Chain A
Amino acid sequence: MSSQNPKRVPEEASDPSLSVTLDGETVDARPGETILELAERHGKDIPTLCHDPRLAPAGACRSCLVEVEGSRRLIPSCATPVADGQVVTTANDRIARHQKVLLALYLADQPDFAARGETPGGAQACELHAMADAVGAPTDWPKMEPLRVGREDRNPYVQFFPEACILCARCTRYCAEIESVSAISLAGRGAETTIATADDVSLLDSSCELCGGCIDVCPTGAMTEKMPVTAGRRGHVEPEKVVRTTCNYCGVGCQMDLHVEPAANDGRGRIERVVSPEAGTTTNDGNLCVKGRFAYDFVDHEDRLTTPLIRAEDGSLREASWDEALARTVEGLMGVHERHGADALAFVSSSRCTMEENYLVQKMARAVFGTNNVHQCAAT
């Protein structure tokens, strides 16, 4: 069995048995898949806003409309299953006109700061604007007065700009279907519809687990990360450096992308935010938990140890150079070795450290000091 992690297509659904005409070409379709999934498999680029491969289709944003023979109206490809003999067109003038009008309307409803690309939502902040660009939507339509009003929430991580919300309900569906806590939902009616917790309480007092999935799925940056905002780093900037790495908390091993500002902290670099990789590409399927997504501020904490320390005669700790600290360590450990033998030494290594580091510690215990008294701190 291959250990690769391809997009997960349910095994039973993989034998093609339907025939569909897609943009003039006859292709095999899998029973149960949507027109969007079929089109994506065949390299078509259909714009989507409310679609997410992890969620049940909502058909809410109307950006993915296609033409199907026999249907007078354009229909949402994300919510329509394939059928044998279907004739589908994914691109023509009528569809292009629809996309331009739709996106122009969305843009007219966006606040000015969002139009300037200033929602601090990371890469996804521009999904809506990028799509408007791509379809060539006019940007000069008169602005509508956004009715949805914001509310302060004392939670530390998630900031909501209701003005920028297009009500695609990706966040609420993610919250219900994937994180399964249903902390947020669509609330209010008509033009006042917005995203809220039950009784409008803070996320901290709701069933929210602060996984931040709502931020990750939001196509407009309306749900966005609060820490950069709090730190005054508002405004979306393309990250200068993106580093794919593995979460350092639990044994799930989620993959994550660290967005780094290399010049910050006097050239040490600073993690600006943590973003989950695209759904379907890694074990965590685009998801992260509260620790993985948000608990990175310890990296720059002022309490970090920055120099070796040595216990002085009077019992206090004083700063020392590496050479001095290493010399003292050799003397200390070898002293015990000489007085009591190798097995009077114990080496505790760490399940938090890398495999290479653990390898070196056990090799040091065995090969350099001559003892098998080595164990990592979490043997379970």
Chain B
Amino acid sequence: MAGLVTTFGAGAMTNSIGEIRDADVLFVIGSNTTEAHPIIAMEMKRAVHRGATLIVADPRSINLTSFASRHLKLRPGTDVWLLNAMAHVICAEGLVDADFIETNTEGFDAVRETVARYTPEEAEKVTGVPADDIRWAARAYATTPKAGIYYTLGITEHTHGTDNVYGLANLVLMTGHLGKPSAGMNPLRGQNNVQGANDAGATPIFYPGYQRVDDPEVAARYEKSWGVPLPREPGLNLNVMMKETGRSIRGMFVMGEDIVLSEPNAGALEERMNGLEFLVIQEIFLNETARFADVILPGACFAEKDGVFTNSERRVQRVRKAVEPPGQAKADWEAVLALANAVAEKRGLTPWRYDGPAAIYAEMAKDADKFAGISHDRVDREGGLQWPCTSPEHPGTRFLHEGGVLRGKGLFTAIEYRPSVELADPEYPLVLSTGRTLYHYNAATQTRRGVGLAEKQPVAFCEIHPADARARSIEQGDLVEVETRRGKVACRAMVSRQVRRGCIWMPLHFAEARANLLTVDDGDIVTQTAEYKVCAAKVTRVAEQPAERDAFPGSFYAVAGPEQGTIH
């Protein structure tokens, strides 16, 4: 996110979901789209049926790779090498858009000099992707006007996540694939309202609408608007907050998030949680974090409250109350309002008054230009509006940067490859990545309670390449232990060519086999987003095997794919 703001001046999908269908090249990197964003994947597949070229870069063979013209099966954590090598080809073969670079960007020379050292042949050694495939992908991307980039957590959840984003942005800027339909640079948001929460200022550095807290003019405006003095120093990022838990952080409020299940290196976090003097959580189900809470407030789910969510393509859409919350549960906005006012009273501040979510939205829009033209009324009438939408007459924005980069000049950033913080070694010889599956959702407190979803994938599993399994006498469905320097969990082995040799993969969703007990909590230097995608691990078969092997249905895509890219 931060990477995108730096480069383009806005942290969101540049283009719209509806434009995917008309794209001619789709470069999908670090996104298991069919499982994480099924309807976007559906549009990608429709584009392929129409004749579009799909290029997938991912360490695993994912469902989407079966629709791809090429699958760049890179080693986890080597994205910078791949992207710089693609840039190398584009520069070396004169495929850059010189006019666009001249008028719309700055910093190209430094990038050209850097990528000159990243030849496809060297890249092949590091990434495992054949040099010819890198050349082919670079040419296909650079020479097609309607070429869009799509990425997710596979790009950002690394200690070099921001570098990966810069690497992609460099490709976009040098080819000028920006400010037109079906092109651009498109981060697909994991949760329903990641975009909206960012937009609303739930970040330590921005007020609503990406206005910096340390900009005196902005702070002065909010002080006037809110009628109180405001802190001018940026606050702590989530990953830092978690590391400071029980140290400098002594009291915590958590709304709608199971931090103990979802945050990396959860074992260490649990220990620090005990150092909190006070923890209040607001939730719809008891979760792992609840074990540490002093107060638990019952919240309402999406069907029980009004408001808006903003999707990945910046479209503000309504959430509408259909049923009442159970018992005394309250919509989270009502609970936060009650809490804020109880504290305000104690601190002698003026209490807040809102007669509902529409009024809250109106207050936010008033102080943030990007949303100034959006209101509940208008969204109700028009069925969804894409920001920027700066006045009640503004129709909203389908794709960004039309007629010039928002930031003024798109910023090239030269990046160098840095290995992930923890690499495989003799003691922990495998590389563990974690991710999501179609049938469950993050902490799975919702989906695992559904009658049906749990049926398709009832038990935790770990994908392992047949050769690695054989070397450890592991068979399909065996109970295995996955261990890293931080912890170990037991789960079933899924022997599958989906993963590269030397790599294993686990879903994040299972409370009884918490992948996040294993992951490292080192963060990206800019965003502090943790490295969920790479750490060193070992896998052993558990001696005692439980009887009911049949209960293990495997994954949907357990079917072995063709063996490729197994250079190790």
Which residues of A line the B interface, CB within 8 A?
A: 1-5, 8, 10, 155-157, 177-180, 204, 207, 209-211, 227, 241, 243-255, 258, 260, 262, 265, 267-271, 281-285, 287-291, 294-301, 303-311, 317, 322, 325-330, 332-337, 339-340, 342-380
Q: Is A375 in contact with B318, judged by CB distance below 8 angstroms?
A: no
Complex contacts, A342 vs chain B, CB 8 Å: 231
Q: Which of A241, A352, A364, A379 lies in contact with B1, CB distance below 8 A?
A: A379
Q: Can you give 11 A-B contacts (C-beta < 8 A)? A: A3-B385, A209-B556, A246-B309, A258-B303, A281-B383, A297-B451, A301-B285, A307-B328, A329-B295, A351-B191, A360-B337
Report the separation of the CA atoms of residues A2 and B373 in the bound assembly, to the nearest whole angstrom. 13
Top-10 shortest CB links A-B: A253-B311, A306-B327, A354-B307, A3-B396, A251-B189, A372-B235, A156-B452, A336-B251, A350-B256, A332-B278
Report the separation of the CA atoms of residues A325 and B360 in the bound assembly, to the nearest whole angstrom. 24
Nearest CB in chain A: distance from B154 CB, A: 10
Question: Digit string of B306-327 for contact with A (CB within 8 Å is 1, else 0)?
Answer: 1111111101111111111111
Nearest CB in chain A: distance from B269 CB, A: 12
Question: Digit string of B13-36 for contact with A (CB within 8 Å is 1, else 0)?
Answer: 000111001100000000000101
Kindly report which residue of chain B lies nearest to residue A11, judged by CB atoms: B22
Q: Is A357 in contact with B322, judged by CB distance below 8 angstroms?
A: no
B406 adjacent to chain A (CB < 8 Å): no
Report the separation of the CA atoms of residues A346 and B94 in the bound assembly, to the nearest whole angstrom. 50
Report the separation of the CA atoms of residues A333 and B37 in the bound assembly, to the nearest whole angstrom. 38
Q: Is B241 in contact with A346, judged by CB distance below 8 angstroms?
A: yes
> In the complex where A317-B296, A362-B200 touch, is A353 in contact with B322 (Cβ < 8 A)?
no
Complex contacts, A361 vs chain B, CB 8 Å: 202, 253, 255, 336
Nearest CB in chain B: distance from A116 CB, A: 28
B193 adjacent to chain A (CB < 8 Å): yes
Q: Which of A265, A328, A336, A376 lies in contact with B194, CB distance below 8 A?
A: A376
Given contacts A298-B450, A305-B286, A351-B191, 9 further A-B contacts (CB under 8 A): A245-B303, A251-B193, A269-B323, A283-B311, A287-B39, A289-B38, A346-B244, A364-B339, A380-B152
Q: Is B322 in contact with A271, judged by CB distance below 8 angstroms?
A: yes
Complex contacts, B344 vs chain A, CB 8 Å: 368
Complex contacts, B284 vs chain A, CB 8 Å: 304-305
Nearest CB in chain A: distance from B117 CB, A: 29
> In the complex where A362-B200, A364-B336 touch, is A178 in contact with B318 (Cβ < 8 A)?
no
Kindly report which residue of chain B lies nearest to residue A213, judged by CB atoms: B42
Q: Is A379 in contact with B323, judged by CB distance below 8 angstroms?
A: no
Q: Is A372 in contact with B67, judged by CB distance below 8 angstroms?
A: no
Q: Which of B192, B198, B456 lies in contact with A352, CB distance below 8 A?
A: B192
Q: Which of A255, A283, A349 lies in contact with B18, CB distance below 8 A?
A: A283
Complex contacts, B286 vs chain A, CB 8 Å: 303, 305
Q: Is A250 in contact with B317, judged by CB distance below 8 angstroms?
A: no
Q: Chain B: how many interface residues by the 8 Å CB criterion?
A: 165
Most buried by A among B229, B453, B455: B453
Complex contacts, A156 vs chain B, CB 8 Å: 451-452, 455
Q: Is A346 in contact with B382, judged by CB distance below 8 angstroms?
A: no
Q: Which of A10, A309, A354, A364 lies in contact with B296, CB distance below 8 A?
A: A309
Nearest CB in chain B: distance from A180 CB, A: 4
Q: Is B303 in contact with A271, judged by CB distance below 8 angstroms?
A: yes
Q: Is A251 in contact with B312, judged by CB distance below 8 angstroms?
A: yes
Report the separation of the CA atoms of residues A310 and B295 in the bound assembly, to the nearest whole angstrom. 5
> In the complex where A245-B318, A290-B453, A305-B296 touch, is A355 in contact with B17 (Cβ < 8 A)?
no
Report the separation of the CA atoms of residues A159 and B386 in the bound assembly, to the nearest whole angstrom. 38
Complex contacts, A281 vs chain B, CB 8 Å: 383
Nearest CB in chain A: distance from B314 CB, A: 8
Kindly report which residue of chain A lies nearest to residue B305, judged by CB atoms: A354
Report the separation of the CA atoms of residues A352 and B278 in the bound assembly, to the nearest whole angstrom. 23
Complex contacts, B45 vs chain A, CB 8 Å: 178, 180
Q: Is B230 in contact with A339, judged by CB distance below 8 angstroms?
A: no
> In the complex where A245-B303, A355-B199 touch, is A310 in contact with B253 (Cβ < 8 A)?
no
Q: Is A349 in contact with B197, judged by CB distance below 8 angstroms?
A: yes
Report the separation of the CA atoms of residues A249 and B509 in the bound assembly, to the nearest whole angstrom. 14
Report the separation of the CA atoms of residues A268 and B248 in the bound assembly, to the nearest whole angstrom. 43
> In the complex where A351-B190, A361-B255 touch, is A343 in contact with B309 (Cβ < 8 A)?
no
Report the separation of the CA atoms of residues A4 and B346 in the bound assembly, to the nearest whole angstrom. 46
Q: Which of B200, B346, B395 lies in contact with A1, CB distance below 8 A?
A: B395
Q: Which of A244, A332, A354 lies in contact with B193, CB distance below 8 A?
A: A354
Q: Is B156 in contact with A377, judged by CB distance below 8 angstroms?
A: no
Q: Which of A283, A297, A370, A376 lies in contact with B203, CB distance below 8 A?
A: A376
Q: Is B67 in contact with A353, judged by CB distance below 8 angstroms?
A: no
Complex contacts, A251 vs chain B, CB 8 Å: 37, 188-195, 311-312
Complex contacts, B312 vs chain A, CB 8 Å: 251-253
Nearest CB in chain B: distance from A289 CB, A: 3
Report the separation of the CA atoms of residues A144 and B340 in the bound assembly, to the nearest whole angstrom. 68
Report the separation of the CA atoms of residues A138 and B295 in the bound assembly, to the nearest whole angstrom. 66
Kindly report which residue of chain A lies nearest to residue B358, judged by CB atoms: A356
> In the complex where A305-B283, A350-B197, A354-B307 touch, is A246 in contact with B336 (Cβ < 8 A)?
no
Report the separation of the CA atoms of residues A282 and B310 in the bound assembly, to the nearest whole angstrom. 14
> In the complex where A295-B447, A359-B200 touch, is A333 in contact with B191 (Cβ < 8 A)?
no
Q: Is A325 in contact with B297, judged by CB distance below 8 angstroms?
A: yes
Q: Is A371 in contact with B231, judged by CB distance below 8 angstroms?
A: yes
Complex contacts, B309 vs chain A, CB 8 Å: 246, 248, 253, 354-355
B250 adjacent to chain A (CB < 8 Å): yes
Question: Digit string of B363-398 for contact with A (CB within 8 Å is 1, else 0)?
Answer: 110000000000000000011111001000001111
Most buried by A among B38, B152, B319: B38
Q: Is A378 in contact with B202, judged by CB distance below 8 angstroms?
A: no
Q: Is B253 in contact with A348, judged by CB distance below 8 angstroms?
A: yes
Kindly report which residue of chain B lies nearest to residue A297, judged by CB atoms: B450
Q: Which of B234, B254, B343 lies in contact with A348, CB distance below 8 A?
A: B254
